[in-house]
Amino acid sequence: MTLLHVYDFAAGPLFAFSFSVFALGSAWRVLRFILLAKAADPAALRGFRPAWALKSVLHWLIPANITARANPLMTFAGFAFHIALIAVALTFSAHVVLWDLAWNVSWWTLPDQAADWLTYLFLAAAAFLIWRRLALPHVRALTTPSDWLVLSITVAPMLTGLMAYRQWGDYDLMITLHVLSGNLMLLAVPFTKLSHAVLFFVSRAVTGSDFGKRSVGAW
Protein backbone atom coordinates (compact mmCIF):
# COMPACT_ATOMS: atom_id res chain seq x y z
CA MET A 1 0.00 0.00 0.00
CA THR A 2 1.41 3.37 -1.03
CA LEU A 3 1.20 6.66 0.87
CA LEU A 4 -1.37 7.83 -1.68
CA HIS A 5 -3.62 4.89 -0.80
CA VAL A 6 -3.18 5.60 2.91
CA TYR A 7 -4.00 9.28 2.37
CA ASP A 8 -7.12 8.48 0.32
CA PHE A 9 -8.31 6.09 3.03
CA ALA A 10 -7.54 8.57 5.83
CA ALA A 11 -9.22 11.50 4.06
CA GLY A 12 -12.24 9.40 3.01
CA PRO A 13 -13.64 6.43 4.97
CA LEU A 14 -11.46 6.93 8.04
CA PHE A 15 -12.42 10.61 8.33
CA ALA A 16 -16.13 9.75 8.02
CA PHE A 17 -15.72 7.14 10.77
CA SER A 18 -13.65 9.47 12.99
CA PHE A 19 -16.12 12.32 12.64
CA SER A 20 -19.04 10.00 13.44
CA VAL A 21 -17.26 8.78 16.58
CA PHE A 22 -16.50 12.38 17.53
CA ALA A 23 -20.10 13.53 17.06
CA LEU A 24 -21.83 10.55 18.66
CA GLY A 25 -19.23 10.21 21.42
CA SER A 26 -19.44 13.90 22.28
CA ALA A 27 -23.24 13.73 22.42
CA TRP A 28 -22.92 10.73 24.76
CA ARG A 29 -20.49 12.63 27.01
CA VAL A 30 -22.88 15.60 27.21
CA LEU A 31 -25.84 13.36 28.04
CA ARG A 32 -23.79 11.46 30.63
CA PHE A 33 -22.68 14.74 32.24
CA ILE A 34 -26.27 15.96 32.50
CA LEU A 35 -27.46 12.67 34.00
CA LEU A 36 -24.62 12.62 36.54
CA ALA A 37 -25.25 16.26 37.46
CA LYS A 38 -28.94 15.53 37.94
CA ALA A 39 -28.17 12.50 40.09
CA ALA A 40 -25.65 14.40 42.23
CA ASP A 41 -27.79 17.51 42.71
CA PRO A 42 -31.33 17.37 41.27
CA ALA A 43 -31.89 21.01 42.18
CA ALA A 44 -29.00 22.15 39.96
CA LEU A 45 -30.97 21.51 36.76
CA ARG A 46 -34.39 22.43 38.14
CA GLY A 47 -35.48 25.87 36.97
CA PHE A 48 -32.57 26.20 34.54
CA ARG A 49 -31.74 29.86 33.89
CA PRO A 50 -30.48 30.38 30.32
CA ALA A 51 -29.46 34.01 30.91
CA TRP A 52 -27.18 33.12 33.81
CA ALA A 53 -25.86 30.12 31.92
CA LEU A 54 -24.92 32.31 28.96
CA LYS A 55 -23.42 34.94 31.25
CA SER A 56 -21.20 32.35 32.91
CA VAL A 57 -20.00 30.95 29.56
CA LEU A 58 -19.20 34.44 28.28
CA HIS A 59 -17.32 35.34 31.46
CA TRP A 60 -14.96 32.46 30.79
CA LEU A 61 -14.72 33.04 27.05
CA ILE A 62 -13.94 36.77 27.12
CA PRO A 63 -12.30 36.13 29.72
CA ALA A 64 -13.73 38.09 32.62
CA ASN A 65 -13.16 35.76 35.53
CA ILE A 66 -11.00 35.47 38.62
CA THR A 67 -8.74 32.76 37.21
CA ALA A 68 -7.90 34.76 34.08
CA ARG A 69 -7.05 37.91 36.02
CA ALA A 70 -4.83 35.98 38.44
CA ASN A 71 -2.84 34.22 35.70
CA PRO A 72 -2.58 36.59 32.70
CA LEU A 73 0.35 34.84 30.97
CA MET A 74 -1.19 31.40 31.29
CA THR A 75 -4.52 32.83 30.16
CA PHE A 76 -2.96 34.36 27.05
CA ALA A 77 -1.16 31.12 26.17
CA GLY A 78 -4.29 29.05 26.76
CA PHE A 79 -6.47 31.30 24.64
CA ALA A 80 -3.87 31.53 21.87
CA PHE A 81 -3.58 27.73 21.88
CA HIS A 82 -7.31 27.09 21.64
CA ILE A 83 -8.32 29.96 19.34
CA ALA A 84 -5.54 29.24 16.84
CA LEU A 85 -6.35 25.52 16.81
CA ILE A 86 -10.07 26.07 16.23
CA ALA A 87 -9.58 28.86 13.69
CA VAL A 88 -7.13 26.89 11.55
CA ALA A 89 -9.11 23.65 11.80
CA LEU A 90 -12.38 25.28 10.73
CA THR A 91 -11.38 28.09 8.38
CA PHE A 92 -8.13 27.08 6.64
CA SER A 93 -8.99 27.08 2.93
CA ALA A 94 -7.70 23.55 2.24
CA HIS A 95 -9.88 22.17 5.05
CA VAL A 96 -13.00 23.94 3.80
CA VAL A 97 -12.35 22.65 0.27
CA LEU A 98 -12.35 19.09 1.64
CA TRP A 99 -15.69 19.70 3.38
CA ASP A 100 -17.07 21.11 0.12
CA LEU A 101 -15.88 18.09 -1.88
CA ALA A 102 -17.20 15.58 0.66
CA TRP A 103 -20.56 17.13 1.63
CA ASN A 104 -21.06 20.11 -0.68
CA VAL A 105 -20.89 22.63 2.18
CA SER A 106 -18.51 25.55 2.48
CA TRP A 107 -18.03 28.75 4.45
CA TRP A 108 -15.73 31.74 4.88
CA THR A 109 -12.03 30.95 4.97
CA LEU A 110 -8.95 32.60 6.43
CA PRO A 111 -6.23 33.81 4.07
CA ASP A 112 -3.50 31.17 3.96
CA GLN A 113 -0.96 33.61 5.39
CA ALA A 114 -3.19 34.29 8.41
CA ALA A 115 -3.62 30.55 8.99
CA ASP A 116 0.15 30.19 8.71
CA TRP A 117 0.79 32.78 11.42
CA LEU A 118 -1.93 31.31 13.63
CA THR A 119 -0.18 27.96 13.39
CA TYR A 120 3.07 29.56 14.57
CA LEU A 121 1.15 31.22 17.42
CA PHE A 122 -0.34 27.84 18.37
CA LEU A 123 3.06 26.15 18.39
CA ALA A 124 4.56 28.97 20.50
CA ALA A 125 1.70 28.61 22.99
CA ALA A 126 2.18 24.83 23.01
CA ALA A 127 5.89 25.29 23.71
CA PHE A 128 5.04 27.54 26.66
CA LEU A 129 2.56 24.99 28.03
CA ILE A 130 5.17 22.24 27.71
CA TRP A 131 7.78 24.40 29.46
CA ARG A 132 5.29 25.17 32.23
CA ARG A 133 4.61 21.49 32.85
CA LEU A 134 8.33 20.78 33.04
CA ALA A 135 9.53 23.87 34.91
CA LEU A 136 6.91 24.44 37.61
CA PRO A 137 7.11 21.80 40.38
CA HIS A 138 3.42 21.97 41.34
CA VAL A 139 2.34 21.59 37.70
CA ARG A 140 4.89 18.85 37.02
CA ALA A 141 3.63 16.90 40.03
CA LEU A 142 0.08 16.94 38.67
CA THR A 143 1.07 16.04 35.09
CA THR A 144 0.38 12.43 34.12
CA PRO A 145 1.46 10.42 31.05
CA SER A 146 -2.08 10.82 29.70
CA ASP A 147 -1.64 14.62 29.85
CA TRP A 148 1.44 14.34 27.64
CA LEU A 149 -0.41 12.01 25.29
CA VAL A 150 -3.36 14.39 24.94
CA LEU A 151 -1.03 17.33 24.32
CA SER A 152 0.86 15.33 21.68
CA ILE A 153 -2.38 14.34 19.95
CA THR A 154 -3.39 18.01 19.83
CA VAL A 155 -0.06 19.36 18.59
CA ALA A 156 0.54 16.67 15.94
CA PRO A 157 -2.07 17.83 13.35
CA MET A 158 -0.89 21.45 13.53
CA LEU A 159 2.80 20.58 13.32
CA THR A 160 2.43 18.10 10.46
CA GLY A 161 0.06 20.48 8.67
CA LEU A 162 2.64 23.26 8.84
CA MET A 163 5.38 20.91 7.64
CA ALA A 164 3.22 19.81 4.70
CA TYR A 165 2.23 23.40 3.83
CA ARG A 166 5.84 24.57 3.99
CA GLN A 167 7.01 21.35 2.30
CA TRP A 168 9.51 20.60 5.05
CA GLY A 169 10.50 16.99 4.50
CA ASP A 170 8.62 14.62 2.23
CA TYR A 171 5.28 16.24 1.33
CA ASP A 172 3.36 13.01 0.75
CA LEU A 173 4.46 11.68 4.14
CA MET A 174 3.69 14.92 5.99
CA ILE A 175 0.22 15.39 4.48
CA THR A 176 -0.63 11.75 5.21
CA LEU A 177 0.54 12.10 8.81
CA HIS A 178 -1.43 15.34 9.05
CA VAL A 179 -4.69 13.66 8.04
CA LEU A 180 -4.04 10.61 10.21
CA SER A 181 -3.26 12.75 13.27
CA GLY A 182 -6.36 14.86 12.63
CA ASN A 183 -8.47 11.71 12.63
CA LEU A 184 -6.77 10.57 15.82
CA MET A 185 -7.65 13.82 17.53
CA LEU A 186 -11.31 13.50 16.51
CA LEU A 187 -11.38 9.93 17.83
CA ALA A 188 -9.75 10.97 21.11
CA VAL A 189 -12.14 13.81 21.98
CA PRO A 190 -14.96 11.75 23.55
CA PHE A 191 -12.59 9.47 25.49
CA THR A 192 -9.91 11.79 26.88
CA LYS A 193 -9.53 15.18 28.52
CA LEU A 194 -10.09 16.64 25.06
CA SER A 195 -13.78 16.18 25.83
CA HIS A 196 -13.57 19.59 27.50
CA ALA A 197 -14.05 20.94 23.96
CA VAL A 198 -17.75 20.22 24.41
CA LEU A 199 -18.13 19.70 28.16
CA PHE A 200 -16.80 23.18 28.94
CA PHE A 201 -19.98 24.79 27.62
CA VAL A 202 -22.28 22.33 29.40
CA SER A 203 -20.49 22.53 32.75
CA ARG A 204 -20.28 26.33 32.67
CA ALA A 205 -23.95 26.59 31.71
CA VAL A 206 -25.07 24.34 34.57
CA THR A 207 -22.77 26.07 37.05
CA GLY A 208 -23.78 29.55 35.88
CA SER A 209 -27.47 28.74 36.13
CA ASP A 210 -27.01 27.35 39.64
CA PHE A 211 -24.97 30.35 40.73
CA GLY A 212 -27.67 32.63 39.35
CA LYS A 213 -30.30 30.94 41.49
CA ARG A 214 -28.04 31.34 44.52
CA SER A 215 -27.23 35.00 43.61
CA VAL A 216 -23.53 34.17 43.74
CA GLY A 217 -22.51 35.73 40.43
CA ALA A 218 -21.17 34.29 37.18
CA TRP A 219 -17.54 35.16 37.82
Query: pLDDT tens-digit profile of 59-99?
Result: 777 876 666 677 788 889 999 999 999 999 999 988 998 88
The verdict on whether omega for the bond into residue 137 sits within 30 degrees of 0, i.e. cis, is: no
For residues 34 and 189, the answer to whether their CB atoms sit within 8 Å is: no
Q: Is 10 exposed, middle or buried (0-12, 13-18, 19+ CB in 10 A)?
A: buried
Q: Find the angle CA(82)-CA(71)-CA(83) to the nearest 5 degrees.
A: 10
Overall fold of domain 3-214: Fumarate Reductase Cytochrome B subunit (1.20.950)
The one-letter code for the residue type at 110 is L
Q: What percent of the chain has pLDDT over 70?
A: 91
Residues 50 and 98: beta-carbon distance below 8 Å: no
Question: pTM for this one?
Answer: 0.87
pLDDT of residue 14: 93
Chain centroid, CA 128 distance in Å: 17
The least confident of 63-77, 100-114, 129-143, 187-201 is 63-77
* Distance of alpha carbon 34 from the chain centroid: 21
Q: What is the mean pLDDT of residues 130-144?
A: 93
Domain regions of the chain by residue span: 3-214
173-189: pLDDT as tens digits? 999 999 999 999 999 99
Residues in the chain, how many?
219
- Give kind and range of the element (H or E) at residue 85: helix 72-91
Is the model's pLDDT at 201 over the cut of 70? yes
- Identify the three-state secondary structure at position 144: coil
Q: pLDDT-derived band of residue 101, with 50, 70 and 90 as boundaries?
A: confident
pLDDT tens sequence across 9-60: 998 899 989 999 999 999 999 999 888 877 877 776 676 777 778 888 887 7
Can you tell me the distance from the alpha carbon of 111 to that of 212, in angstroms, rounded to the nearest whole number? 41
The pLDDT > 90 percentage for the chain reads 56
